[in-house]
Amino acid sequence: MAQPKRLKHRVPVKLRHHWKLVALCAAFLATCWGVFGSGTIRPYVTASGTAGTDAAVRNLTGSKELFDASAPHQVTLTFRDESYQDMLTEYFKDGDKKYVEADLTIDGTRIPSVGIRLKGNSTLQGLTWKGQSRVRSGRTGGMPGGQPPDGVRPPNGFPPPDGQTQPDGQTQGDGQTQGDGQTQSDGQEQSDGQTQNGGQAQPGAGQPGGGRPGGFGASLKAEEPENLPWLISFDEFVEGRRYQGHTQLAVRPAAAQSSALLNEALAIAMVGAAGEPTQRSAYASFSVNGRAAAPRLLVEYLDEGYAERLGHGVLYKSLASSRFAYQGEDQTEYVDDFKQVNLKGERDLQPVIDLIKWVEQSPAEEFATGLAARLDVQSFARYVALQNLLLNFDDMAGPGRNYYLWYDLNTAKFKVISWDLNFALNGDATAGPDDTISMGFPRTARPTQSDQSQTNQSQAEQSQAEQSQAEQSQAGQRAGGPGGGMRIGHALKEKFLANAEFNKLYKSEYAALYRKLLANGTATGLLDQALAAYGRNERADTTKAEKEAATLRQTLETRTKALKSLS
């Protein structure tokens, strides 16, 4: 009878020969379990795409420079009607802005298979399809919802409290009647989950600056795609393709309130004249699927190419749902707040998170001494002054959260960049640097700490007041969730203005901008250039554009006189 094998002989030969390696691996695994346990390692991937340096770029040069305002331009879009209907169905159902494949021709250069989608938030509030608005009851968001904040008088186009009347005597409420006899219920939703409880905006009768072109309630019909706001993507369906360095291009809408959008063209030019980063713009005769052409305002989009021209850094877009509130270190918690534009795969949102956390948690004294290490404070003072000077309600603190953050990798500092100025140069043209700009109506002056000779507060009391104001700003932002009404305010902006030294810098930049842009007639000259650029294009309605220009000239004149003491 055979003797049983010894235990070691039952182990395979190869395993016996390499037992030391097996033992080492087992020890390593045991160590990993002891150190890491059952914890989960989260990869922070907050933006799709590969590193920008790995993408092959094919740049189309075109026949003429796209943003040359001294020449006329022609842009035509062609797409399948079935695709367009599908896109509208999805948008009206879920609010999703789906890309549709189209053929594009710019100044004679044909570009097949571009991506196009609807663009905008407030702009699309007045969009109808087959006579119906996009309505979803029971949902509210950060844009104008239920009621304006306390102390803010609602401008035309916003619903007053129930039972009250609009300035023109018309009442609004559930089932309000719009101008063309259609009804609209409360809870009309904007794209990106935002809502407005009112109907179409009426021109700001009696208000300096007139109406709000292309803004809340702009009358737009899906049956007229040539009038809609579009975002054109050159690389949506053809990877790595650009046109004159651009991956995207914005086409502004045309509406009854304004077909020329001279206010936005002028505001963009004024930001550039102030020495701050801005976007280029130009007018082009715009046609869709053979429908009659008319001039539309084309605006440079802040894309990868734009970021490359800014320098070595990362560009972040603030989303309309952004709160600028610290939500922990998990970067996936900020996907509704910021979108990374460039260097995807190489950089992430951590610098933005660090800034938000520091602004939110730093005491007033630390904020005063440490902000300059994190932010270009002079540029920021100029940015804030420009938004007031331009009467821009919907800036970084407005309901649309319209701004970009540029993070310079060489200096490790942020800069705030203006974006979406379609509400600029409307409202109360007499508003001063201490007034908070609103849509159509002046608000109460903003409390500041700029003149310490007029206060008996101790330094400790002043710091406490500044911290309290910042906390109130953050609370106001968080209140903009469901049922919270219009969400306005921005912790960085308000904490900046609450500080005495930063407020002094803001006033200094404001006065310098007044002299540079208004007192010497620069803005009027830029308006004349925009009007001439519009008129060079096919089917330009010069009569209507002249009326818009006349209103803007009156706004500039009133603004110059009201701020004369700054000179």
Q: pLDDT tens digits for 242-281?
A: 999 999 999 999 876 677 999 999 999 999 999 999 999 9
Q: Which of 333, 487, 351 is nearest to 407 (CA)?
A: 351
Quick one: tokens of 352?
A: 């933005």
- For residue 21, pLDDT over 50 is answered with yes
If you average pLDDT over residues 434-453, what whole number do you get? 55
567 versus 209: the higher-pLDDT residue is 567
Residue 448 lies in a domain: yes
User: Which amino acid appears at position 488 of this protein?
Assistant: I
pTM for the model: 0.75
Per-residue pLDDT at 487: 66
- For residue 196, pLDDT over 80 is answered with no
- For residue 520, pLDDT over 60 is answered with yes
Per-residue pLDDT at 327: 98
Residue 199 lies in a domain: no
Give bridge partners of residue 114 from the DSSP assignment: 102
- For residue 351, pLDDT over 90 is answered with yes
Q: How far apart are CA 474 and CA 477, in angstroms?
A: 5
- For residue 354, pLDDT over 50 is answered with yes
Q: How far apart are CA 421 and CA 425, in angstroms?
A: 9
Given CA atoms 359, 363, 368, 373 in this order, what sign does their dihedral have?
A: negative
If you average pLDDT over residues 393-416, what whole number do you get? 96
Residue 65 exposed, middle or buried by CB count within 10 Å (0-12, 13-18, 19+): middle
CB count within 10 Å of CB 464 equals 14
Per-residue pLDDT at 159: 33
* Lowest mean per-residue pLDDT among 17-31, 151-165, 261-275: 151-165
451 versus 107: the higher-pLDDT residue is 107
Q: How far apart are CA 526 and CA 357, in angstroms?
A: 40
379 versus 478: the higher-pLDDT residue is 379
pLDDT interval class at 143 (50, 70, 90): very low
Residue 363 lies in a domain: yes
If you average pLDDT over residues 497-509, what whole number do you get? 98
* Lowest mean per-residue pLDDT among 87-96, 252-261, 514-523: 252-261
Q: Are 304 and 287 in contact (CB under 8 A)?
A: no
Per-residue pLDDT at 218: 62
Report the domain count for the chain. 1
CA–CA–CA angle 258, 264, 268 (5° rounding): 165
Q: Are 407 and 314 in contact (CB under 8 A)?
A: yes
Q: Containing domain of residue 397, as a range? A: 311-521
Residue 286 lies in a domain: no
- For residue 328, pLDDT over 90 is answered with yes
* Lowest mean per-residue pLDDT among 229-238, 268-277, 345-354, 474-483: 474-483
Q: Are 181 and 130 in contact (CB under 8 A)?
A: no
Q: Which of 233, 217, 130 is nearest to 178 (CA)?
A: 217
Q: How far apart are CA 481 and CA 457, in angstroms?
A: 35
- For residue 456, pLDDT over 90 is answered with no
* Lowest mean per-residue pLDDT among 5-14, 15-24, 184-193: 184-193
- For residue 288, pLDDT over 60 is answered with yes
CB count within 10 Å of CB 269 equals 22
Give bridge partners of residue 188 from the DSSP assignment: 135, 196
DSSP 59: E
DSSP 159: P
- For residue 140, pLDDT over 60 is answered with no
Quick one: tokens of 509?
A: 């930049």
Given CA atoms 160, 164, 165, 170 in this order, what sign does their dihedral have?
A: positive
Residue 496 lies in a domain: yes
Per-residue pLDDT at 150: 36
CA–CA–CA angle 342, 114, 402 (5° rounding): 45
527 versus 216: the higher-pLDDT residue is 527
Residue 241 lies in a domain: no
Given CA atoms 543, 393, 414, 307 in this order, what sign does their dihedral have?
A: negative
First to last CA, the chain: 115
- For residue 322, pLDDT over 80 is answered with yes
Per-residue pLDDT at 17: 54
Condensed to tens digits (0 to 9), the pLDDT of residues 40-63 reads 444 454 444 444 444 578 999 999
Q: How far apart are CA 185 and CA 369, in angstroms?
A: 50
Q: Is 356 left (phi over 0), alpha (psi -120 to 50) or beta?
A: alpha
DSSP states of 371-394 as a string?
GGGTB-HHHHHHHHHHHHHTT-SS
* Lowest mean per-residue pLDDT among 17-31, 129-143, 199-213, 309-323: 199-213
Per-residue pLDDT at 32: 58
26 versus 93: the higher-pLDDT residue is 93
Residue 333: helix, strand or coil by DSSP? helix
User: Which amino acid appears at position 532 of this protein?
Assistant: A
Q: Give me the chain's average pLDDT, please.
A: 78
Helix axes 459-478, 491-498, angle to 10 degrees: 160
pLDDT interval class at 125 (50, 70, 90): confident
DSSP states of 420-477 as a string?
--TTTT-S-TT--TTBPP-SSS--PBPP----GGG----HHHHHHHHHHHHHHHHHHH
Q: Which of 120, 101, 121, 123 is nearest to 111 (CA)?
A: 101
Per-residue pLDDT at 170: 37
